Amino acid sequence: MSKACCTTERDEMPNKHNDGFDHNHSHDHGNSSSFKTYIPAIISLILLISGMLFDHFDALWFSPNIRLGWYLAAFAPVSIPVFNEAFETIKKGEIFTEFTLMSIATLGAFALGQYAEGVAVMLFYTVGELFQHAAVDRATGNIRALLDLRPETATVFRNGQWVSLHPEEVEIGEKIQIKVGEKVPLDAAMISDVSSFNTAALTGESKPDTIRKGELLLAGMLNLEKVVEAEVTKKFDESSLSKILKMVDEASHRKAKTELFIRKFAKIYTPIVFFLAVALMLLPYFFVNDYHFRDWFYRAMIFLVISCPCALVISIPLGYFGGIGAASRNGILFKGSNFLDLMAAVKTVVMDKTGTLTQGVFEVNQVNSEGIELEEFLDLLSAVEKNSTHPIAKAITAYHPSELTASQIEEISGHGLKAVIGGKIILAGNSKLMKKFGIDFPSGIDELVESIVMVSIDGSYSGYVTISDKIKEDSKSAISKMKAAGVEQTVMLSGDKDSIVQKTAKELGIDLAYGNLLPEDKVEKISELKKNQKNTIAFVGDGINDAPVLAVSDIGIAMGGMGSDVAIETADVVIQTDQPSKIPVAIQIGRKTKQIVIQNIALAFGVKLIVMILGAGGLATLWEAVFADVGVAFLAILNAIRIQNMKF
């Protein structure tokens, strides 16, 4: 029998390494599910059943000594590992564990001559442990699948030839080759014209994605179409897949309050029930006229068996782990089980606009220049904007590439850019930037609905460019599904023009919307909403400027596909698909996980309390106690893994 998953001293689940994962997963997983693991329990079961049959038919050769030896042979395969665990935990100073309870209860049964019951207690405890291991393996299946996605080799062009190396040995800027059926080993920019890739490992979406020349390939994608070449943009440790694995890895360390409470409770609860069992055995001597030590000792053994906290200690973290697994299968990464609880409590969802509810893919609609030739105007504007990573800046540089070079570049957060080109001071940004530097511009421009980039040259207004952005296909349905999931209020915060923000909010059915906000203004708005302490707030964003508000909200959600690294690292939940419709899915998973955890707590306490009372009153035997204990554990674990089969 392998080490128990449900030990009260364990702080992590599953019990492999402190990081929550079995790093030699392929080998160990095979062991835990192999037939050899079940041999001790099978031997014990065969000997137990045959011994009970010999007892029932009064076999003449089944003398008291042979009978004792027979049941000891049945007892040994399943009890020795438990005795070893009890010994090890006692050496660490942890006396009151389920191993100690099981050891005392079964030895007590043997002392009373209840051999079959003593074997049954330990056998079913072992079967429960095996079942728990299988449940943990199932719960961690999604994460094991992620670990299996790590490419072992990369085909790199070095010294005039293609060589096979470990991805960690490949440097930024080197050229790699990805054959059909191979995984992309590192984040890289596509050199070849086009190919189709399966992105399910990163996004949870099975639909193939077409990647063209110049676009980004992410580690873990599967090449479906033809041999392609790409230029490495990030080292292995900084790749998207490595970050995902790190996030999921760290998730096992962050425990929900309920999980932490149950673990602390088990450490207090176990010694209490032990002393209650001792009291149940000894105190009746002073109050019961026909006191028989044997009877009350037997009742105390029943009390110990049924009081074992295994069902609680394993099923609750298993429920949370199942929730994290179900979310990752849907392209949603929770960075800890505590965030599942927070997501379940969300009442207000606050969202950024660009890149979150809209595609963040901008196009230039209209160009208007004043006092300068249109071509020169675009040359100057594009030369400034190519120094920014903002989607609007990319749209302008794509519309009109410039050969000019800007110097003394200064990015003014929430306003725009300031630069010098050929001795001229260029300002490019919104109306707030113009006002900040005292630039007069036509009043009618501010009334335009579209996103506008205004330009000033040497202190004089020189024209503007209008930019449009498209709403994501699932944004509207996402808002309605949030409300159906119990979200009381939806809010949109954006640095974009208020007219655009209000128009988008009306189109999507968002309750409140605020535009023209700087990053600090967004933080202020969240702080206002948080004044109501009962109002749990989730903020959804994707940009660098969203990082402060992601950090200050109760739960921060980042769009992980197109989002900035800073936003992803600051957030508590990452949506890999960039789909707003995953927000209500995350809420549903959080609430369903919480519901299952509460059900397990109620089930475990309810059944245990009933059988404890029956056992103390002499109305239940060790058989009822062991079946009730193992039965509760089975039901709780089945309930916990149920979330993995649900469709959201």
- Strand, coil or helix: 162: strand
Q: How far is CA 237 from CA 17, 171, 229, 334, 639, in A?
A: 21, 11, 21, 20, 37
333 three-state secondary structure: strand
Judge contact between 325 and 319, C-beta under 8 A.
no
Which residues are CB-neighbours of 221 under 8 A, at least 6 positions away? 183, 184, 197, 198, 199, 201, 202, 209, 211
Residue 411 CB neighbours (<10 A): 16
Which listed residue (341, 352, 542, 578) is catalytic?
A: 352
DSSP 472: P
Q: How big is the chain by its Cα radius of gyration, in Å? A: 32
Instruction: Examine the residue annotation and report whether 511 is marked as an active-site residue of this protein.
Output: no
> Is the peptide bond between 14 and the residue preceding it cis, with omega within 30 degrees of 0?
yes
CA distance 473 to 357: 9
353 contact partners, CB below 8 Å, separation of at least 6: 492, 493, 494, 496, 500, 501, 504
Q: Judge contact between 429 and 392, C-beta under 8 A.
A: no
> What 3-state class would DSSP assign to 121?
helix
Phi-psi region of 234 (alpha: psi -120 to 50; beta: other; left: phi over 0): beta
Q: Strand pairing partners for 155?
A: 164, 177
Alpha carbon distance 475, 635 (integer Å): 39
CA atoms of 430 and 412, how far apart (whole Å)? 11
CA nearest 188: which of 240, 227, 232, 156?
A: 232
Task: Tell me how far apart the alpha carbons of residues 492 and 498 are, in angstroms, rounded to a whole number.
Answer: 11
Provide the β-strand partners of residue 514: 493
d(CA 232, CA 216): 10
- Reading the block at residue 592, the tokens are 């369903």
Cα 71 from Cα 114, distance rounded (Å): 10
From CA 468, how far away is CA 436, in angstroms rounded? 25
Burial class, 229, CB count within 10 angstroms (exposed 0-12 / middle 13-18 / buried 19+): middle
Catalytic residues: 352
